Structure 1
Amino acid sequence: MAKRPTVRLNPPSPELQKVLTETSKPALKAAADAVAAGVKAPTNVSVFNNKEGRAVAVVTIIHPKGLAMQAKHGELTRAAAAQGLEVKRYRV
């Protein structure tokens, strides 16, 4: 399978980085809420800036068996794929 091209924007100034981060947060929140709606357990959606200053959305299953649900059935991965998103591991 061919690798999908990725676009990485390196803004020329910290001010532009801040504007891009703040303007992308509503779209990230909407995408994360759509993924959370596809999970059959209670979830928590959080949007924040990572250590590089980029906006990140994280969906967490807040059920006691949430980790097992993801490991066994891929609940979050399946919900994200249904929205057309690619899932990558993010170290908190």
Structure 2
Amino acid sequence: MGNCLNLTESSSFVFLREAYKSLRLTYEKSGIDLPKNIKGARMLDCAVIMHVHKLWELRGFPSYDSVIGAFPEGDAIYDGAKY
């Protein structure tokens, strides 16, 4: 799977939350509403994952080429997350 963003590891959650906060601030500064997750379309989750990729690269790390995750029950990682 190459350089994988592994969302089954709790250590990834910290960076995922950070990416959400950064994305939210970017949208707020632009005066644009964040995408929302709706039935059949996880637009917010997609935007957060894409932002994770961007932040990772800006920090000088090699690009992710895959993402793995599970969707356990429990509290959402960030506001509006589907799971």
Query: Based on CA coordinates, which of the two structures has the bigger radius of gyration?
Result: 1
TM-score (ref. length: structure 1)? 0.30
Structure ranking higher on relative contact order (CA contacts 8 Å, 6+ apart): 2
